[in-house]
Amino acid sequence: MKKLSRRDLLHSAPLAAGAAALAGCSQSETPAAPESEAAAAPGPRIRLGVSTYSYWHFSEEKYPIEDVIDRAARLGFDGVEILHRQMAEESVGYMNALKRQAFESGLDLLMLSIHQDFVDPDAAVRSKHIAHTEHCIDLAYQMGIPAIRLNTGRWGTIKSFDDLMVAKGDEPPIEGYTQEDAIKWCVDSIEKCIPAAEKAGVVMALENHWGLSTDIEVLLRIHREVDSPWLGINMDTGNYVGDPYPQIEKLAPHADIVQAKTYHGGGVWYTLDLDYPRIARILRDAGFKGYVSLEMEGNEDAETAVPKSLETLRAAFG
């Protein structure tokens, strides 16, 4: 028997009700659906977004966010994730224009991905990053965005990101300090940001990003120790050392949002052959209901690579 999607059911419900009325059937006479059909009913639809980063990759000239919104609407995405560093400015007029454009295009603005770093022995430096995080929470609030992407940070003992990738994210601490120091700095810094997040209603989604959170056990520990509903998890599908799937299984039950990497044309820094049907099963089994946001990180032109990536995600997540 062909399964009906939720949309099919919604559209067919009035017709079914009308047919029952014409036939003189009462509600009590309507036969119950077989248990096998009820068990096969689909779960909540996982929505798909695209990061503006997918079109930019930190090239010299910024790719306009307005153009990403246009393309996302045309391709059929559900939402757009904005990279803070890609914003042309921070004026209220500019932000309101992005918000209006997304609304008129039928799109959510789903997350503001920011860059900050709490791994620094200097309390004054950490305070600057705390202030930056609070500032970005305000920007997200202005644009009606419910979440910001948060990093732990890194030691900076490997200066080049390319070299960090060669080292598989394994960066030694600054001399005289330990990983325990860095974890404490992160927990303390995030806790200082909680009041701003709660006031604005903006979740801070901590990502398994390169640096301290390369180790997902450290990421989960920070999440546990902060212990606030305003600190969530942004699970990236590509930022792992070794087999990603056991690590994805550990993060999935805690994930509020997912960033999904693709690498058409070969990755800018590295390439992974990710099994998205398997990832989708892991997330559904964990009860994930949030957004999956595409980060196309390949060398192929985004005009062709993003549509291909969307089809991959649609096939996996349905």
Beta-carbon contacts of 41 under 8 Å, excluding residues fewer than 6 positions away, are none
Shared domain check, 268 and 280: yes
Shared domain check, 129 and 15: no
SS (H, E, C) 244-298: HHHHHHHHHHHEEEEEEEECCCCECCCCCCCCHHHHHHHHHHCCCCCEEEEEECE
State residue 110's pLDDT score.
98
Per residue in 110-161, pLDDT (tens digit) is: 999 999 999 999 999 999 999 999 999 999 999 999 999 999 999 999 988 8
Shared domain check, 151 and 2: no
Shared domain check, 69 and 192: yes
Residue 142: its H or E element: helix 123-143
Shared domain check, 123 and 3: no
pTM metric for this prediction: 0.86
- The CA-atom distances, in angstroms, between 287 and each of 45, 108, 143, 220, 251 are 11, 22, 28, 18, 12
Cβ atoms of 117 and 153 within 8 Å: the answer is yes
Report the percentage of the chain scoring pLDDT > 90.
79
pLDDT, averaged across the chain? 89
Shared domain check, 137 and 24: no
- Alpha-carbon distance 49 to 109, whole Å? 9
Shared domain check, 134 and 15: no
Shared domain check, 58 and 22: no
- Alpha-carbon distance 114 to 90, whole Å? 13
Number of domains in the chain: 2
Shared domain check, 135 and 76: yes
CATH code of the domain in which 279 resides: 3.20.20.150
Shared domain check, 283 and 144: yes
Per residue in 293-303, pLDDT (tens digit) is: 999 999 999 99
Shared domain check, 216 and 195: yes
**Average confidence (pLDDT) over 6-35:** 40
State residue 164's pLDDT score.
84
Per residue in 225-276, pLDDT (tens digit) is: 999 999 999 999 999 999 999 999 999 999 999 999 999 999 988 899 999 9
Please determine, for residue 41, whether its predicted confidence score (pLDDT) is greater than 70.
no
Tell whether the torsion through CA atoms of 118, 119, 125 and 126 is positive or negative. positive
The confidence band for 43, taking pLDDT boundaries of 50, 70 and 90, is: low
Shared domain check, 106 and 22: no
Domain residue limits at 17: 1-42
